[in-house]
Amino acid sequence: MTTALLSIRDLHVRVGEREVLRGINLDLPAGQVHAIMGPNGSGKSSLSHVLAGKPGYEVLSGSVTYGGQDLLALAPEQRARAGLFLGFQYPVEIPGVNNAYLLRAALNAARRERGESEIDAFDFLTLVKERMALMKMDESFLSRGVNEGFSGGEKKRNEILQMLVLEPRVAILDETDSGLDIDALKVVATGINTLRSPERAILLVTHYQRLLDHVVPDAVHVLVGGRIVRSGGAELARELEARGYDWLLEAA
């Protein structure tokens, strides 16, 4: 318990009038991949957003501890610089801001936070091109606007690329698998597996089990009605795939 990199305790969160998270408890230890599964509207994306600090979510009670500090007290950019990464379900397009600029600005923000010098332009390009090759992305992408005119699959690959460049300690991937064809899914899975390491933790938020065939989780949690109603190993995901969520909805 004490080794958890990310620790969520009795987290209650409201959006507008609706309580979307109603007492979440979760420990994410370093070195592990956990999956959060659940039907639509169960609070999966809300959990991702709250952890990343998206405005509009009111924490009613509970706590989130990240590497020993109070995560909820940090601004979104401070969370990012401290090594927390959110892979968006719907990455926004930002015409006019080019990918290379954003990647470098993001990387340097994290490096400054750690007291390191800014990355040399040559080292940066070497790093990015190596990661892009892994994600099977064309180099022309660097000079394009952030997600501008990207297909759904390209946007998701771009999220994973950013993750690979930033090398976060905790990555939360919000339905990164949705909308991907099988080839893109494998590329994305390769990217995620590349980042697995004893000092990192990954939280995969997903509706379907298919990503979990390629990124085998250490634990699976089922979120229903804003609560985790069941936790188990990788086999739980396969059971959900076979039986659907209905039997758990009744339990909730």
Q: Give the residue, chosen from 42, 162, 176, 209, that forms a contact with another protein under the rule CB under 8 A.
A: 162
Q: Give the residue, chosen from 43, 53, 191, 226, that forms a contact with another protein under the rule CB under 8 A.
A: 53
Cα distances from 212 to residues 24, 139, 175, in angstroms, run 22, 29, 12
97 counts as binding another protein under rule CB under 8 A: yes
Which of the ranges 61-69, 77-85, 122-130, 204-212 carries the binding residues for another protein, by CB under 8 A?
77-85
Q: How far is the CB of 56 from another protein (least distance, A)?
A: 9
58 counts as binding another protein under rule CB under 8 A: no
Q: How far is the CB of 170 from another protein (least distance, A)?
A: 13
Q: Give the residue, chosen from 16, 55, 115, 149, that forms a contact with another protein under the rule CB under 8 A.
A: 55
Q: How far is the CB of 105 from another protein (least distance, A)?
A: 6
The binding site for another protein (CB under 8 A) comprises 52-55, 75-77, 79-81, 85-86, 88, 91-92, 94-97, 101-102, 105-106, 109-110, 113, 121, 145-146, 162, 166
